[in-house]
Structure 1
C-alpha cells in the first residue's frame, strides 16, 4: 500500500522537469556573487515583489531570522501573532541569535488587528524595550492556511510606517495566498520593508527561500546569512529549481486548494469530525471528538495516511495537500481515514 503523505507541503519531490532544469543550471560561486542562476532568481523575486534586491537563503526559517536580525537589535522587541512561525517554530532563534524578544498578540486566525498592534508599541521610555518591527505570516499556518486580506496587510503596514517601525512579511506560503485571493505578490509586498518567498513548500523546490527589500538591507542580510553559515557556493542548481517552480508551479496551487477543500468536505461527514477552520488554501485542521491526535496519527499511518498532530490542541490533526497528491489520492485518503477512525 502506497502511503499518502499529507504531513506537509515540504515533502514534495522535484518533478522531472525541475530535475532537468537543475541538471542544466549554469553555476558559479555565489559567495563571490558569481552564480548567474542565483542572480536570475534573486532578480526575478525582487521584480515579483517590486523591491530593489533579493537574497537566496537556505530556508524559510533562515529568511525569517535574517530579516528580523536586520530590522532589530539585541534588547529590541518585535510584534507578531502568538502562533507565528518566527516565534513558535524556530527553536527560540529570535532570542538565541539576536537577543530580540517577541511581543505576541492574539490574532483572528493569525491576522493581526491594527489597533492591537498600535496599542502594543512600547512607549519611548528606558524601562521598556524598543519596538522595532512587526512580523506577519502569509498564509498563516496555525490559522489553518489563512490568507491575509490585502486591506489588513495595508492597515498593519500603515500603523508600522506611521510609528516608525519596519514591517516584515513571512511569505511561507505567499503564492498560495496570491492564487487564492487573486492579489498580486507585488501588492502584498508593497507595505513590507522586507518580504520573503518560500520555494520549498507548495512550489515544490527542494530547498530555499528568497528575501527581498531595499538594496542596503539586503546587503546587510547577506552579512547575517554568512554569519549563520548560509553562504552557498554552486547554488545555481538550487536556484534553477526555484525558477522552474515560479514558471510552472504557481497556477497549479489552485489544485491543492481544491483537494484540501474536497478532503475537508469528506472528513466533515464522519461522525465526530470537526473542521477547526474553513479551508481557504492547502491546510486542513480536523479534530475527532474524544480522540487524541497523538493516538490517531500513528493509527492513520498504519492505514496509509501520514499527517501530523497540530500541537496547539491535543485533539487536532493537520493535513496538507501538495503537488505530489492528486484528486484520486484525496478520495482514497478519506476512505482510509474513515476506516481507521471507525476502527
Structure 2
C-alpha cells in the first residue's frame, strides 16, 4: 500500500516503540512525568522559547493558544486558507468567545499588507467593532501546497503586530519541514512569534501529540485551558518518549521533500495531470486532473483499487503528502499507477 493522503499516517519506528515501553513515567497533570518534562525542555530548546507543553493534538494546541492570547469578545486574524480557520471546528468561537476574521492567503501563504491592515478598525475607540488581539500564521502553509514563509516575511509581520499591539501565533504543524527547507534551526523561524505549536504526529512520525511553546506566563494560561478541554494526561511519558525520538531525527524530513519533488516531476510527464514541480517546496504535492473523463471521485476509487491513496483537497485539486512510510520506489510506482489509470476509461 502506498499512503499519500497525509503524513498523519506515519507509524512509530521500532526505536520509538522501544522508547515508549522503557520510558520512566509519572503523573503529568502533577508535573511529575520525567519523560514529558524532557520532551517539553527539548521542544522549548529547539524553538528558543522559555517553556513548552505537551498537547494531545495540534487542534487543541492551537485552541489553547488562541484562548490564552485572545480575550473574549476580541478577534483573531487568520488566513482564509488556514487550518485554524477551515479545519478546527471554530473552537475559539465555541469555547473562547473569540471571533475569527479571515484574511486572504496569497498563493505563497502570505498576507497582502492591505488585507491584513483591513482587519484593524480605523477608530479603535468605536465600541461597535471587535478589536484584534492576535494574528495567526501557518508555516508550512498546507492548503497553499506546503509553502514556506520566508524569514524576512516573518520579521515584517512581527513588526506589523508590534506596531498594533497584538500577539503573533504560529501554527507550525509542519514547522520542522519549514526549517529543513530553509536550512535553518527552527528557532530562527520561531524567534519572530509569541507562541508556536508543532505536530509530533505528522512528518516527525510520532504516533500522538503536539507541542505548544511560548512564554512562561502564556504557557501557564495554556495549561489551564488544556485541563479545561480535557487534555490533561496522566502517565503521558509513553507518548513523550516517541516525541523525543521524533525530534532527534527531524533532519530526515529532507528525504520526504526530495520524494515530493520526485513525485511532482514524474506527474508532470503524465498526460491528464496538471502540476508544477517548481511549486513543491516541502512534502506536499497539489495536482489537478485534466482528463475530462475522470472525476476526482472516480480517480481516487480507481487508485485505491491498486493500493494507492491520495486525497481530494478542494477546488478540484488532489493532494499527495510524502512521509517516512513512503520510499523512492513507492513514488515511481505511484506515478506509473496514475499514468495507467488516466490511460484507461472510467
What is the CA distance between 1:99 and its match in structure 2?
A: 1.8
Report the equivalent of 2:4: 6
Quick one: distance in 2 between partners of 1:179 and 1:128? 41
Quick one: distance in 2 between partners of 1:36 and 1:153? 34
Quick one: distance in 2 between partners of 1:340 and 1:283? 21
- Secondary structure of the structure 2 residue equivalent to 1:232: coil
Report the equivalent of 1:96: 94
Quick one: distance in 2 between partners of 1:234 and 1:172? 24
Report the equivalent of 2:120: 121
Report the equivalent of 2:201: 200
Report the equivalent of 1:294: 297
Report the equivalent of 1:157: 158
Report the equivalent of 1:50: 48
Quick one: distance in 2 between partners of 1:105 and 1:303? 40
Q: TM-score of the superposition, structure 1-length normalised?
A: 0.96
Stretch of structure 1 that moved more, 186-195 or 7-16: 186-195
Contact 2:140–2:172 at 8 Å: present in 1 too? yes
Report the equivalent of 1:141: 142
What is the CA distance between 1:94 and its match in structure 2?
A: 2.2
User: Which residues of structure 2 form unaligned runs of 5+?
Assistant: none
Correspondences of 1:54-73 after superposition (within 5 Å):
54-73=52-71
Q: Do residues 305 (structure 1) and 304 (structure 2) align? A: no
Quick one: distance in 1 between partners of 2:165 and 2:24? 42
Q: Deviations over 1:187-241 (max 9, x none)?
A: 1111211111211000000011111111011000000000100000000010011
Q: Do residues 189 (structure 1) and 187 (structure 2) align? A: no
Contact 2:264–2:276 at 8 Å: present in 1 too? no
Quick one: distance in 1 between partners of 2:68 and 2:295? 41
Quick one: distance in 1 between partners of 2:276 and 2:168? 29
Correspondences of 1:75-94 after superposition (within 5 Å):
75-94=73-92
What is the CA distance between 1:327 and its match in structure 2?
A: 0.5
Quick one: distance in 1 between partners of 2:210 and 2:204? 11
Quick one: distance in 2 between partners of 1:18 and 1:283? 25
Contact 1:74–1:98 at 8 Å: present in 2 too? yes
Contact 1:9–1:202 at 8 Å: present in 2 too? yes
Deviating above 6 A after TM superposition, structure 1's stretches of 4 or more consecutive aligned residues are none
Report the equivalent of 2:255: 255
Report the equivalent of 2:36: 38
Contact 2:271–2:342 at 8 Å: present in 1 too? no
Q: TM-score of the superposition, structure 2-length normalised?
A: 0.95
User: Which residues of structure 1 form unaligned runs of 5+?
Assistant: none
Contact 1:140–1:146 at 8 Å: present in 2 too? yes
Stretch of structure 1 that moved more, 287-296 or 320-329: 287-296
Q: Indicate the RMSD between aligned Cα atoms, in angstroms.
A: 1.2
- Secondary structure of the structure 2 residue equivalent to 1:251: helix
Quick one: distance in 2 between partners of 1:282 and 1:112? 22
Q: How many residues align?
A: 338
Quick one: distance in 2 between partners of 1:208 and 1:304? 28
Q: Deviations over 1:135-179 (max 9, x none)?
A: 001100001000011111111111011110000001110000000
Contact 1:86–1:94 at 8 Å: present in 2 too? no
Report the equivalent of 2:16: 18
- Secondary structure of the structure 2 residue equivalent to 1:158: helix
What is the CA distance between 1:73 and its match in structure 2?
A: 2.3
Report the equivalent of 2:286: 285
- Secondary structure of the structure 1 residue equivalent to 2:158: helix
What is the CA distance between 1:294 and its match in structure 2?
A: 2.4
- Secondary structure of the structure 1 residue equivalent to 2:213: strand
